[in-house]
Amino acid sequence: MTTATQLPPDPDAYDAVRNEHARKRGLPQPYIAGGDDPDLGATLQRERRFVRLLVGMTIVIVAGGFVLGIAAALLNIPL
């Protein structure tokens, strides 16, 4: 488990669109938590597994419907 380090303030980011919206809402800080991922490459690499899992689950669900439909038609089971 890694610990998050405190980044120095970025004066250019202060005028970012989300920071302007945060100030208009009266938030106590000049930014909305979240934002750009400092290690985007590693995050995308970790998330590729989940994309493959999502695509695989979708294929299994759709194919399962076809298999059950064909099996029901072959066995003359009314749906």
Task: Give the angle 32-19-2 at the CA atoms, nearest 5°.
Answer: 40
Residue 79 vs residue 60, higher pLDDT: 60
pLDDT digits (tens, 9 = 90+) for 26-36: 876 665 566 67
Residue 15 vs residue 45, higher pLDDT: 45
* Structure confidence at residue 69 (pLDDT): 92
pLDDT category at 22 given cuts 50, 70, 90 is confident
Q: What are phi and psi of 40, to 5 degrees?
A: -60, -40
Distance between CA 63 and CA 68 in Å, rounded? 9
In this predicted structure, the answer to whether residue 40 has a pLDDT above a threshold of 80 is: yes
Question: If you average pLDDT over residues 3-26, what whole number do you get?
Answer: 71
Cα atoms in the Cβ-side hemisphere of radius 13 Å centred on 48: 5
Residue 6 vs residue 32, higher pLDDT: 6
